[in-house]
Amino acid sequence: GESVGLHLPTLSVQEGDNSIINCAYSNSASDYFIWYKQESGKGPQFIIDIRSNMDKRQGQRVTVLLNKTVKHLSLQIAATQPGDSAVYFCAENINTGNQFYFGTGTSLTVIP
């Protein structure tokens, strides 16, 4: 099946620093990607998405970069805050199908 993996299972950053969370995907047919944030005891929460016809998309304090050549996705969080502590998942979608394939997740801890 499809494989979406994360390079680092855990990441610790100082409050105010920028965070970068990485994701590798294996299916070159994937054309839509979402970053989700999951806080303890809650469901995944949408952060930002990007389609394969773009290589960068910016939101509020977050930026997603897509490198289709190496099948790599990253999430950058600017000025990381304690409330950003959570597990972050990338998820990929293929040809507007209904199924999203999730990665294992990276646990981000923000140190005050």
Partner 1 sequence: EPEVTQTPSHQVTQMGQEVILRCVPISNHLYFYWYRQILGQKVEFLVSFYNNEISEKSEIFDDQFSVERPDGSNFTLKIRSTKLEDSAMYFCASSKGGGVEQYFGPGTRLTVT
Residues near partner 1, by CB under 8 A? 4, 32, 34, 36, 41-46, 49, 89, 91, 93, 95-105
Minimum CB separation of residue 40 from partner 1 in Å reads 11
Closest by alpha carbon to 7, among 107, 101, 77, 82? 107
Beta bridge partners of 67: 72
- Nearest CB to partner 1, comparing residues 18 and 109: 109
Minimum CB separation of residue 49 from partner 1 in Å reads 6
- Nearest CB to partner 1, comparing residues 98 and 112: 98
Torsion on CA atoms 103, 86, 36, 27, rounded to nearest 10: -20
75, 48 in Cβ contact below 8 A?
yes
- Nearest CB to partner 1, comparing residues 80 and 89: 89
**Token pair of 93, please?**
């979608």
